[in-house]
């Protein structure tokens, strides 16, 4: 009889911890956290108060601050480290990861200097490993609270996705598959920028009609760039596109939406970030997204205004005035 699959999750933030507790219900699972206190709390008390308040984690989930030991035990490696710190963690873990172990990314950002997607960073640092993505409209606290949710395992090799599906599934957490890794990953990256714009709408009190316009035109921008980079259009209408965009733009738990809302209320970006104990990926991603759009000849007026707010100090009120100056063309065939 073969032994059960050992899952290792790198990253003790809210979503990494949630994915680890989902996996622990199905198979032995270890979570690596950089902070020894967080790791010990997960291992001994089965909570992660810093990120998830008093929510209980699966009692079989183990925690450790020993990266080498965690990586060495993995039959499946899940990387929940933010995009800006992912390469360094993988480089340290790489000597301890056994060959051919599948690796799933949870990150939704771009590496700033290279503009590489997280799965591309993983492929560079863990060469030869099957690489995929686990993503969707998944708010960690709601998942832990038992609300029904769905996610996607995206990987070019459908047989790998089929093997991984049961490790994270539950009666209330449905796991789908998608072979369009690039499109699935871009949806998660780009929606964070649009979520900042949605938060700005909330902070300015411009109304639901305006926010609906931002979401739908934001999805059009995401789809245009995604297709230009090689993603499939229908992917952006699915869980990792429209689904993730809706959850991030509407939820009060969304870090990126909160950034936009607070900026619209005249707080500085430095003040907003200082009050957050987790990364809002859209802030770090906005400029890289604009650079990718320019490289691929795609116009993204909403993303451009968000970039101006977070990187050039423009007030959200001026950003929305800028959007009002856009000339409407054909909804389906326009380029802007």
For 39-79, how does the pLDDT look when each residue is reduced to its tens digit (9 = 90+)? 999 999 999 999 999 999 999 999 999 999 999 999 999 99
In 3D space, the residue among 81, 133, 73, 58 whose CA is nearest the CA of residue 103 turns out to be 133
Instruction: Determine the average pLDDT of the residues in 90-116.
Output: 95
Strand partners, 103: 77, 131
CA-to-CA dists, residue 40 to 86, 102, 121, 278, angstroms: 22, 26, 29, 19
pLDDT digits (tens, 9 = 90+) for 268-299: 999 988 888 777 788 888 999 999 999 999 99
**CB count, 10 Å around CB of 297?**
10
pLDDT at 324 (0 to 100): 64
Tell me the C-alpha distance between 92 and 75, whole Å.
18
CATH 3.90.226.10 correct for 7-179: no
pLDDT at 335 (0 to 100): 47
Tell me the C-alpha distance between 336 and 84, whole Å.
30
Total-model pTM: 0.91
Place of tokens 């599934």: 169
**CB count, 10 Å around CB of 150?**
15
Pick the CATH number of 186-324 from 3.20.10.10, 3.30.70.270, 1.10.1040.10, 1.20.1640.10: 1.10.1040.10
Tell me the C-alpha distance between 228 and 254, whole Å.
28
Which residues in 167-189 are b (16+ Cβ under 10 Å) and which e? bbbeeebbbbebebbbbbbbbbb
Domain residue ranges in the chain:
7-179, 186-324
Look at residue 334 and tell me whether its pLDDT is greater than 60. no
pLDDT digits (tens, 9 = 90+) for 205-218: 988 888 899 999 99
Q: Report the catalytic residues.
A: 191
Beta pairing, strands 76-79 & 62-64: unpaired
């Amino acid at each position: 009889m073969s032994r059960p699959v050992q899952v290792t999750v790198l990253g003790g933030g809210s979503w990494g911890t949630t994915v680890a507790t989902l996996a622990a219900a199905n198979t032995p699972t270890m979570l690596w956290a950089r902070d020894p206190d967080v790791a010990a709390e997960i291992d001994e008390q089965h909570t992660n108060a810093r990120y998830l308040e008093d929510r209980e984690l699966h009692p079989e989930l183990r925690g450790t601050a020993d990266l080498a030991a965690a990586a060495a035990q993995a039959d499946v490696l899940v990387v929940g480290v933010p995009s800006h710190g992912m390469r360094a963690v993988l480089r340290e873990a790489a000597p301890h990861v056994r060959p051919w172990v599948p690796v799933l990314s949870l990150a939704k950002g771009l590496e700033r200097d290279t503009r590489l997607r997280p799965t591309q960073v993983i492929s560079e640092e863990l060469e030869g490993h099957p690489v995929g993505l686990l993503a969707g409209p998944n708010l960690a606290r709601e998942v832990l609270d038992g609300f029904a949710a769905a996610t996607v395992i995206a990987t070019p090799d459908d047989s790998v996705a089929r093997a991984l599906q049961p490790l994270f599934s539950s009666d209330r957490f449905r796991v789908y598959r998608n072979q369009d890794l690039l499109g699935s990953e871009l949806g998660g990256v780009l929606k964070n920028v649009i979520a900042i714009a949605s938060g700005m709408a909330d902070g300015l009190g411009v109304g639901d009609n305006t926010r609906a316009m931002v979401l739908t035109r934001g999805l059009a921008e995401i789809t245009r760039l995604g297709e230009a980079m090689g993603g499939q259009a229908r992917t952006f209408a699915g869980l990792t596109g429209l689904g993730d965009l809706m959850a991030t733009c509407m939820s009060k738990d969304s870090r990126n939406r909160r950034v936009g809302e607070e900026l619209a209320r005249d707080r500085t970006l430095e003040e907003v970030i200082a009050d957050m104990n987790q990364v809002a990926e859209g802030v770090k991603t906005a400029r890289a997204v604009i650079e990718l759009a320019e490289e691929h000849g795609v116009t993204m007026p909403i993303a451009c205004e968000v970039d101006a707010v977070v990187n050039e100090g423009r007030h959200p009120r001026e950003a929305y005035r800028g959007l009002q100056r856009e000339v409407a063309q054909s909804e389906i065939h326009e380029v802007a």
